[in-house]
Structure 1
Amino acid sequence: MSWRQTLLGLVVALMVTPVWAVQPDEVLDDPVLEERARDLSKGLRCLVCRNESIDESNADLARDLRILVRERLVEGDSDEEVIDFVVERYGEYVLLKPRFDGSTWLLWAAGPIMLLLAAGIGFAYIRGRSEAKPVQEAGLSAEEKARLDKILKE
Structure 2
Amino acid sequence: MMNWILVVMGAIASIVVAMLVGGLMAPARIEIARTIRIAARREDVWRVVHDVQQIPDWSPRLPAFEVASETAPSALTLRLRNDSQEIVGEWHLRLDEVESHTNLSVSASSVTGNPIARFLRSFRNRNAQVDAFLGGAAEQLGDYRASPRDQ
For Structure 1 versus Structure 2, the TM-score category normalised by the shorter chain is under 0.3
Normalised to the residue count of structure 1, the TM-score between the two structures is 0.22
Bigger proportion of residues as helix? 1
Whose radius of gyration is greater, 1 or 2? 1
**Higher relative contact order, structure no. (Cα contacts within 8 Å, ≥ 6 residues apart):** 2
Normalised to the residue count of structure 2, the TM-score between the two structures is 0.23
